[in-house]
């Protein structure tokens, strides 16, 4: 099997992240570039029948969360045969996400093992503020995050990891609108990237970044060959009709519009983050 330079770089990155495991001072890596079409190791023909892993993946639900933040990576986690992918909440009562989407938990906090393979937290719009002040949620994240193999979040979810004290000294990303201002308030070092791997913390940008992040995690846990098959199953060959998906590409008027909408909200998030940090 011959590998291109990009394939080798990706393999090294995956291996490095898998081995880092939370200790030491491994250099943070931000990954945004596409891996080129490479050589062709044969796909594993037992992929769809083989039950491997048995990883426990805890995806946290909370009121007002953005469903797409979670459902994106959930798709890829669910393609990992044998993995136990759970939507977790304090009780089994359905959780009203934003915009009329209501999701049912599959496990309660108490059901979740002490040491999970992936702890994942979605983001939200304005309800992020309530979530940062939600002791039950933040205490759960702090407890399971301490022992999880990977501690992960996208959009404004990294602020909740930060509120739980899990990002102190870690490089991280988050929704572009609040990243640079609010992440430092919880001790994290903001990085402008689609997703960021720093030791065992993996964070993604806003909403749809969860899809790229999820595919990356599937590759970390089950290898890049399997992840490529999952990408084909998801027909994940994006073709947005516009090119306005980041503040670097959108019209300045669009960026200003969003920033003006969230200015006082991000001030409130900074306050909530600092209150948590001072308390810890």
- Which residues form the catalytic set? 155
Told to check if 85 binds a copy of itself by CB under 8 A, we report: yes
- The residue written with tokens 């490095």 in the block is 16
Instruction: Choose which of 103, 129, 159, 196 interacts with a copy of itself (CB under 8 A).
Output: 103
CA–CA separation, 72 vs 218, rounded Å? 12
Instruction: Choose which of 15, 27, 51, 232 interacts with a copy of itself (CB under 8 A).
Output: 232
Nearer to a copy of itself, 84 or 271 (CB): 84
Nearer to a copy of itself, 48 or 280 (CB): 48
Instruction: Choose which of 2, 235, 264, 279 interacts with a copy of itself (CB under 8 A).
Output: 235
Range in contact with a copy of itself (rule: CB under 8 A) among 21-29, 131-139, 140-148, 230-238: 230-238
CA–CA separation, 13 vs 16, rounded Å? 5
Instruction: Choose which of 17, 20, 31, 60 interacts with a copy of itself (CB under 8 A).
Output: 31
Task: Check: CB of residue 13 under 8 Å from CB of residue 29.
Answer: yes
Please give the C-alpha separations between residue 180 and each of 77, 85, 244, in angstroms, as whole numbers. 29, 31, 20
Cβ 279 to a copy of itself shortest distance, Å: 30
Told to check if 207 binds a copy of itself by CB under 8 A, we report: yes
Told to check if 251 binds a copy of itself by CB under 8 A, we report: yes
* CA nearest to 129, candidates 230, 251, 276, 25: 276
- Site residues for a copy of itself, 111-140, by CB under 8 A, read none
Largest CA distance in the chain: 54
Told to check if 78 binds a copy of itself by CB under 8 A, we report: yes
Instruction: Choose which of 17, 66, 162, 171 interacts with a copy of itself (CB under 8 A).
Output: 66
Nearer to a copy of itself, 93 or 280 (CB): 93
- Site residues for a copy of itself, 157-196, by CB under 8 A, read 175-176, 194
Task: Check: CB of residue 117 under 8 Å from CB of residue 144.
Answer: no
Told to check if 34 binds a copy of itself by CB under 8 A, we report: yes
Could you tell me the two tokens for 10?
Answer: 């990706």
- Site residues for a copy of itself, 9-28, by CB under 8 A, read 10
Sheet holding 118-121, edge to edge: 29-31, 195-198, 201-204, 150-154, 118-121, 56-60, 84-89, 107-108
Instruction: Choose which of 11, 16, 47, 143 interacts with a copy of itself (CB under 8 A).
Output: 47
What count of other Cβ atoms lies within 10 Å of the Cβ of residue 112?
A: 18
* CA nearest to 123, candidates 77, 75, 74, 61: 61
Pairing status of strand 102-103 against strand 107-108? unpaired
Told to check if 254 binds a copy of itself by CB under 8 A, we report: yes
CA–CA separation, 266 vs 252, rounded Å? 19
Cβ 121 to a copy of itself shortest distance, Å: 16
Instruction: Choose which of 1, 110, 252, 264 interacts with a copy of itself (CB under 8 A).
Output: 252
């Amino acid at each position: 099997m011959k590998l291109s330079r990009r394939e080798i770089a990706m393999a090294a990155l995956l291996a490095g992240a898998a081995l880092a495991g939370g200790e030491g001072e491994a250099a943070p890596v931000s990954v945004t570039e596409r891996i080129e079409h490479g050589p062709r190791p044969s796909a594993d023909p037992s992929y769809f029948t083989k039950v491997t892993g048995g990883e426990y993946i805890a995806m946290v639900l909370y009121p007002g969360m953005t469903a797409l933040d979670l459902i994106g990576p959930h798709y890829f986690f669910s393609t990992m045969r044998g993995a136990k992918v759970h939507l977790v909440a304090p009780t089994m009562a359905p959780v009203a996400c934003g915009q009329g989407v209501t999701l049912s938990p599959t496990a309660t906090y108490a059901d979740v093992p002490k040491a999970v393979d992936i702890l994942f937290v979605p983001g939200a719009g304005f309800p992020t503020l309530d979530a940062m002040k939600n002791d039950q949620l933040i205490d759960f994240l702090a407890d399971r995050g301490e022992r999880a193999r990977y501690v992960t979040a996208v959009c404004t979810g990294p602020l909740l990891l930060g509120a739980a004290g899990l990002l102190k000294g870690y490089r991280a990303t988050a929704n572009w609108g609040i990243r640079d201002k609010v992440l430092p308030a919880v001790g994290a070092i903001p990085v402008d990237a689609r997703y960021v791997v720093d030791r065992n913390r993996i964070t993604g940008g806003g909403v749809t970044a969860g899809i790229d992040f999820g595919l990356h995690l599937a590759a970390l846990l089950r290898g890049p060959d399997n992840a490529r098959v999952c990408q084909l199953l998801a027909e994940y060959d994006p073709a947005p009709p516009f090119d306005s998906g980041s503040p670097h590409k959108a019209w300045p008027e669009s960026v200003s519009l969003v920033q003006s909408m969230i200015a006082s909200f991000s001030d409130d998030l900074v306050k909530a983050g600092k209150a948590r940090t001072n308390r810890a």
